[in-house]
Amino acid sequence: MLKQLEQIRKDALAELENTQIQDELHQWRSKNLGNKSPLMGVFTEMRDLSKEERPKVGKLANEVRQALEAALEQKQAALKLAALQSSLDTEKLDVTLPGRTISRGRLHPVTQTLRRIYAIFAEMGFQVYRSREVESDDYNFTFLNMPAHHPARDMWDTFYTDKEGVILRTHTSPGQIHAMREYHPDPIRVILPGMCFRYEQVSTRAEMQFTQVEGLAVGYNITFGDLKGTLTDFARRLFDADVRTRFRASHFPFTEPSAEMDVECFICGGEGCSVCKQTGWLEILGSGMVHPNVLRYGGYDPEEYSGYAFGMGPERITMLLHQIEDIRYFWRNDLRFLEQF
């Protein structure tokens, strides 16, 4: 039996020597080390041996097994190396070939404007407050001092849903009520950015969906002077440190008094051009002191608290900054347009 083991070792190693392909190693393994291999047969037959013979045969059988396993491992490593070497020899790497460029995404021009606006107001201590795009009629109108059937509601062409009293918000102003109801009676300083929806005839100046950034400050002793100072500073940070601003009296149902802010046309410097329609001024935002009724709906006593609010359209500001003539470019997903920013 010892002789038989030596023969097994000799045959197996010789066969392994001739194997040149990785796949054949598996076959060799099952043939020479598998359960049905001659070597394993010896282990089975050992049971019938005498007590003196058994340790000798067992010792050699283990040696043979270890030798075969070691040889297999060596052969595997050798074949792997050979395969690598041959692939290095045959497949030449051309290091002069230019790399594949990764096409990187970029931020949408309106998102870029939004982030500039966030950054400016963040420096002034305003936090971003987000609220829902699907609103109730109450939040969108009633709590903003526009009761049912109030004619002021006609200023917003509204998308209604099948569900009574559920609409797509026409402006970010409902967020004012959400913020006030969440924070009262604490002071508030937030901006409310987000998407709004209006049932509009789409044109070069009007879209059905657009973003707005609303601002709201509520607290003690907040005056119109605070409103003017904050917004003038904002305009200087966004457009130019020397830009002039002016406030024109206006009307919004949810502020009293109300004003629109213009900045001096940064294209013509106030001389008059086609962008500012020869006026020298560009309308940027609407603003005003929060109406007492709105404060009340938000949970603040207007005898004690006051506040100001403002709202602007980042698309419009982006159009002014880059002299874009058609608002429809923003949602057209035309790369020739988007790649310019």
Half-sphere exposure of residue 22: CA atoms within 13 angstroms, side-chain side: 9
Q: Please report how close the Cβ of residue 329 comes to Zn ion at its closest, in angstroms.
A: 21
Output 197 or 239, the one with its CB closest to Zn ion. Answer: 239
Q: Which stretch binds Zn ion (CB under 5 A): 46-54, 170-178, 269-277, 327-335?
A: 269-277
Q: Please report how close the Cβ of residue 265 comes to Zn ion at its closest, in angstroms.
A: 3
Tokens of 284: 């940027």
SS3 300: coil
Output 223 or 278, the one with its CB closest to Zn ion. Answer: 278
Q: Please report how close the Cβ of residue 280 comes to Zn ion at its closest, in angstroms.
A: 6
Output 152 or 267, the one with its CB closest to Zn ion. Answer: 267
Q: Does 327 bind Zn ion (CB under 5 A)?
A: no
Q: Which stretch binds Zn ion (CB under 5 A): 83-91, 165-173, 266-274, 312-320?
A: 266-274
How many CB atoms are located within 10 Å of the residue 18 CB? Answer: 8
AA letter at 94: D
Q: Does 152 bind Zn ion (CB under 5 A)?
A: no
C-alpha–C-alpha distance, residues 21 and 15, integer Å: 12
Q: Candidates 273, 302, 321, 341: give the one binding Zn ion (CB under 5 A).
A: 273
**What proportions of the chain, in percent to the nearest 5, are helix, strand and coil?**
45, 20, 35
- CB under 8 Å to 331, separation ≥6 — which residues? 207, 209
Output 132 or 277, the one with its CB closest to Zn ion. Answer: 277
Measured torsion, CA atoms of residues 12, 17, 20, 21, in degrees rounded to the nearest 10:
20
Q: Does 321 bind Zn ion (CB under 5 A)?
A: no
Output 208 or 267, the one with its CB closest to Zn ion. Answer: 267
Q: Which stretch binds Zn ion (CB under 5 A): 34-42, 44-52, 61-69, 265-273?
A: 265-273
Angle at 197 between CA 195 and CA 201, to 5 degrees: 135
Q: Does 267 bind Zn ion (CB under 5 A)?
A: yes
Half-sphere exposure of residue 235: CA atoms within 13 angstroms, side-chain side: 27
- CB under 8 Å to 325, separation ≥6 — which residues? 204, 319
| Count of residues interacting with Zn ion (CB under 5 A) | 5
Q: Which stretch binds Zn ion (CB under 5 A): 13-21, 121-129, 183-191, 272-280?
A: 272-280
* Bond from prior residue into 193 cis (ω within 30 degrees of 0): no
Output 235 or 276, the one with its CB closest to Zn ion. Answer: 276
Q: Which stretch binds Zn ion (CB under 5 A): 20-28, 61-69, 114-122, 263-271?
A: 263-271
Which residues contact Zn ion (rule: CB under 5 A)? 265, 267-268, 273, 276
